Chains A and B, each alone.
Chain A
């Protein structure tokens, strides 16, 4: 990292830079407002920097379906576990998939029973394992949004080029814009704006959100991941929200994360995706099927499709009873409103998808905000400071704080 970059990073993490933005946010929130991020890294940034403790009571920061591990359905986890049970197979996976419960077990538990499951940082690392063990089948669990899938597409192309025959991938990828479209169509939606994912947008470009802003009138701001990035994006969104509410302005797509994101995105990465994958319908854990929201291999790359190669069929396992992860990802409820939260469902023994990954809304809430300065997204700060337990009325307490004379929620 250069000195300049380091200085820039220090500013983006400094209290001095944050202060003015926080004041502006307090001034802009004069009625209940809900903004949603749809990226695990934003979820963690908001929790890790304690940003909710700095927000005015009327502003709710919601976590949508932004964690790729969390939205991977049970049936797909089960298929990865089946692969780990194949004799001589090596399953390579991102670390946070290890503890995700399938319908009966986890990859972590399978490893404890002798399966060869390895944590890798990239698909290329999995390909290296395949080259090093030519007599064994190496199966990579391909999860992720548009940020991750191009690298995996490039890895599959490299495997094809070099004739690596013992390498395959489960294509469990998901696409962000169709999920935003689904969220925008939720009946009785109370969302006022989207904090759009920075990394995904580097690949797909900010123009990908135009249908959301233009078609549904929801302001969108593409944000970076440092605390000052997130705060600045919140200010930009609140200014748009005010303009839309008061002046009849049209919702638009803006980019706060200008140092990395363009309107068109990364063409080369988009070409890679188009060469290897085709868009298909996909199942999202806790939410259900979303049309044209996933990827499958094109015919030419079928030999690399782990599901087809080992004839591991899709199962129909359903989500756990009592779990409200779907509602949490849709912005209807917050983690402390779940009866299982922090009791039956903990990061050590997760029931629902949002508790599974460190990026999940429930896990981030559990780790960073349970009993914290603010106990729930909508709760007034004072409730948290007195250590009041997170209750089911937290969200209502927040909206009860609306300023006199303001009309109903957006």
Chain B
């Protein structure tokens, strides 16, 4: 039946959201920078004026998360790290952010202060400054306590050019650590599940880790931060844009046992679980060892691993732990907990 209203699934980061963006939003603003639909827009010039020594990267993101405080982070840290990461994976050095707050009436000011302290500490750690902001207050019940928007600007130095179109047969696919930690931590907090191993969100700015990768391998083809939709969706986007095939090796994928257990219980697939402090990098085959080494030298990349390779039929495939092969499609809507 046709959808004539927005559903929560439209915000899942999967095929339904891509469809909404492509059909309803982009055509109304169409321009060369926007149509690429990458994590950040890449601008060689601003209003006709060239930027000295590089190109501008510009992005925006709005953060809604329940609960506002979760193991490993909070909405303030998430809002700063998320936008820094969108800039970083484009190869940009993040410079400054704006911070917009939509606050619900009744939110304890102490909670707002905790969120802002966390945002400020995260910005300091990432080496970015908050240079402008906005504050709105809405009626109780409208936004679940607090919504945060951040926009960010960074500079992509000359000599760095990342893009899916640069991906080649034989390239290595690398992830910087365990997948699905953020979404699992949120699910545990929301559903009050009892899990033996504490799972914290991996929410963190990855610009330092990205810098190490680019130093170790300036020829890196493309990088992404696999947020909503997980690495399954991110790699599908890359494979589609590159017109390439990617095969992952399940045995090489870093997944925490507790993340796997929560996924098993709820019928979720770790490949589609959101990360907030991880990088997926595709690099030339000869550079994979150097990149993994560079990632592992960073506190956020200790469990970095080569998880697959580019080649074969178009699309994304998984060689499973028992040796079978199956396709990994783009997530359709939200993952829904299964009955049994």
Contacts and interface: CB of A to CB of B under 8 A. Distances in A.
A40 B338 contact: yes
Contacts of B7: 108-109, 111-112
A371 B339 contact: no
A379 B329 CA distance: 21
Contact of A51 (B267, B317, B324): B324
B324 A373 contact: yes
Contact of B339 (A14, A111, A143, A370): A143
Contacts of A69: 339
B137 interface: no
B333 A112 contact: no
Q: Is the interface of B mostly helix, strand, loop or mixed?
A: loop
Name, among B5, B191, B321, B322, the residue most crowded by chain A CB atoms within 10 Å (CB to CB).
Answer: B322
B315 A371 contact: yes
Given A359-B267, A369-B326, A50 B320 contact: yes
A387 to B, nearest CB: 6
B32 interface: no
A105 B1 contact: yes
Interface string B292-331: 0000000000000000000001010111111111110100
B235 to A, nearest CB: 15
Nearest to B9: A108
A44 interface: yes
B337 A119 contact: yes
A97 to B, nearest CB: 8
B6 interface: yes
B16 interface: yes
B5 A112 contact: yes
B46 interface: no
A349 interface: yes
A206 interface: no
Interface string A38-50: 0011001001111
Contacts of B325: 50, 53, 372-373
Name, among B1, B15, B261, B329, the residue most crowded by chain A CB atoms within 10 Å (CB to CB).
Answer: B1
A373 B3 contact: no
A53 B326 contact: yes
Nearest to A51: B324
Contacts of A106: 1
Interface string A95-124: 111110100111011011100000101000
Interface stretch (A73-81, A144-152, A331-339): A144-152
A261 B257 CA distance: 25
A15 B315 CA distance: 24
B336 A68 contact: no
B191 to A, nearest CB: 6
A373 B322 contact: no
Contacts of B257: 1, 6
Contacts of A143: 339
Contacts of B267: 44, 96, 358-359
A367 interface: yes
A48 B271 CA distance: 12
A280 interface: no
Nearest to B333: A348
Contacts of B340: 40-41, 68, 144-145, 147-148, 199
A201 interface: no
B322 A95 contact: no
A51 B1 contact: no
Interface in A51-71: 51-54, 68-69
Nearest to A67: B339
B200 interface: no
Interface residues of A, number: 63
B139 interface: no
B322 A358 contact: no
Given A348-B333, A358-B267, A368-B326, A96 B338 contact: yes
B332 interface: yes
A65 B152 CA distance: 51
A49 B321 contact: yes
Given A19-B323, A48-B269, A49-B324, A1 B317 contact: no
B158 interface: no
Nearest to B1: A101
A94 interface: yes
A371 to B, nearest CB: 6
Given A348-B333, A349-B1, A227 B16 contact: no
B196 interface: yes
A180 B324 CA distance: 29
Interface in B234-263: 251, 257, 261
B3 A15 contact: no
A93 to B, nearest CB: 9
Nearest to A374: B325
B329 A95 contact: no
Interface in B1-27: 1, 3, 5-9, 15-16
Contacts of B329: 366-367, 370
A287 interface: no
B321 to A, nearest CB: 5
Given A50-B322, A94-B338, 12 more contacts: A15-B321, A40-B338, A40-B339, A50-B324, A50-B326, A94-B337, A95-B336, A96-B336, A101-B1, A348-B16, A367-B327, A371-B315
15 contacts: A14-B322, A19-B323, A50-B318, A50-B319, A50-B325, A51-B324, A53-B326, A95-B336, A98-B336, A112-B5, A121-B191, A199-B340, A227-B322, A228-B322, A372-B327
Interface of B: 1, 3, 5-9, 15-16, 191, 196, 251, 257, 261, 266-267, 269, 313, 315, 317-327, 329, 332-333, 335-340
